[in-house]
Amino acid sequence: MSFTPDISVSVCGVNFKNPVIAASGIYGFGEDYTDLYPLSELGGISCKGTTLNPKDGNIPPRIAETPSGILNSVGLQNPGVDRFIEHYIPMLEKQDTVVIANIAGASVEDYEQTARKLDSTSVDMIELNISCPNVKQGGATWGVTCAGAQSVTKAVRAATKKPVIVKLTPNVTDITEIARAVEAEGADAVSLINTLLGMRIDIRTRRPVLHNNVGGLSGPAVFPVAVRMVWQVSNAVKIPVIGMGGIASAEDAIEMMMAGASAVQIGTAIFGDPYVPVKVCEGMKKFCFENNIEKISDIVGTVKPW
């Protein structure tokens, strides 16, 4: 019997036409891709990380290729939340896709004020980038301690009624502890993994390739780590998990969902092929049809550990 697979998913009460979200930092605000295909082909867009005030980002060089991935130290270059609200949100409202505002800050107050400004807008969800330095606590990132992650989550939860996703860093001893901590403070979902800290050195100059010395590693090289962490976190919390980290094909996305992800984000692969998100959706439909799976959501968390 012939049927059309249903690849729609729901996360925190928000309906996505498919599980594929363009990851923050890769897709900008979507404006550079509208000439290639309608953004309505995507389940959603997690917009460029936005801060309370505009940021120029780090001094170049800030991108370096690595085997099976890239290192980046862009430094959250963005026009600031007011410009995002005034210029980009009106454009995104016309795209017929879920809009996720990704926000970052150097202090709890930064996160809180940015979220408060976004609360009265049409964005569907707010994603917290807690892989940012806490300038008041010696520069350690918010996401590497339960206390730091909780403080940001609690403040943003009080500042908005919108669903709050907390994006977790993998640069910790036990990511499930951080996931449980933000869940306890009202996070509606978690997304993971953000980039792994890495470094490359130019052996001719003996200087780091990146001006910031270190940067975030993304791409296929991190995929097995991401799958492991998504599996661990999905078994540790009751809230939905959005999986990311090295996804480059429909098979990767399906694997991530079987590990426990309710939806997925695709980032670095888009640099090599901007059509990857669309191809992943097509591949998911084909997989479901060939395996007699009526709803893609039925595969979530179905891995069978030995």
SS3 210: coil
Peptide bond connecting 193 to the previous residue in cis, omega within 30 degrees of 0: yes
Taking the alpha carbons at both ends of the chain, their separation in whole angstroms is 34
For 118, the token pair is 């976004």
Residue 3 has what pLDDT?
Answer: 87
Q: What is the pLDDT of residue 134?
A: 72
| pLDDT at site 190 | 98
Structure confidence by residue, pLDDT tens digits, 217-227: 999 999 999 99
Give every CB contact of residue 228 below 8 A, 6+ residues apart in sequence: 259
pLDDT band at 138 (very low <50, low <70, confident <90, very high): low
Report the pLDDT averaged over residues 204-233. Answer: 97
pLDDT greater than 80 at residue 1: no
Q: Report, as an integer, the average pLDDT of 263-275.
A: 97
Phi, psi of 63 (to 5 degrees): -135, 135
Q: Determine the Cα–Cα distance for residues 113 and 152; give it in Å rounded to an integer.
A: 11
Phi and psi at residue 69, in whole multiples of 5°?
A: 170, -165
pLDDT at 133: 78
CA distances to 21, 71, 201 from 66, rounded to whole Å, are 24, 7, 11
Q: Are 196 and 220 in contact (CB under 8 A)?
A: no
> CB burial class (10 A; 0-12, 13-18, 19+) of residue 292?
exposed
Question: What's the whole-model pTM score?
Answer: 0.97
CA-CA distance, 172 to 60, in Å (whole number)? 27
| Eight-class DSSP state of 24 | T
Q: Bridge partners of 99?
A: 45
> If you count DSSP H runs as helices and E runs as strands, how many of each does the chain have, helices first?
9, 16
Catalytic residues: 132
Residue 53 has pLDDT above 60, yes or no: yes
pLDDT tens-digit series, residues 18-28: 999 999 988 89
Taking all residues of the chain, what is their mean pLDDT, rounded to a whole number?
Answer: 96
What is the pLDDT, as a whole number, of residue 135? Answer: 66
Q: What 8-state DSSP symbol labels residue 85?
A: I
Cβ-based neighbour number of residue 211 at 10 Å: 14
Of the candidates 282, 283, 278, 279, the residue with the CA atom closest to the CA atom of residue 37 = 278
Number of residues written out for the chain: 306
* Tokens read off for 75: 């430094």
**Sequence ranges of the domains in the chain:** 9-299
CB 257 within 8 Å of CB 19: yes
Phi/psi for 90 (5° steps) reads -55, -35
Tokens read off for 199: 């470094």
CATH number of 9-299: 3.20.20.70
pLDDT number for residue 150? 97
Mean pLDDT computed over 75-79: 94
pLDDT for res 132: 83
Of 156, 192, 186, 188, nearest to 174 (Cα)?
192
CA distance 292 to 306: 24
Using alpha carbons, select from 287, 278, 264 the residue that is nearest to residue 11: 264
Average pLDDT over residues 196-221: 96
pLDDT band (50, 70, 90) for residue 280: very high
CA distance 75 to 113: 20
* Residue 235 CA neighbour count, 13 Å, CB half: 13
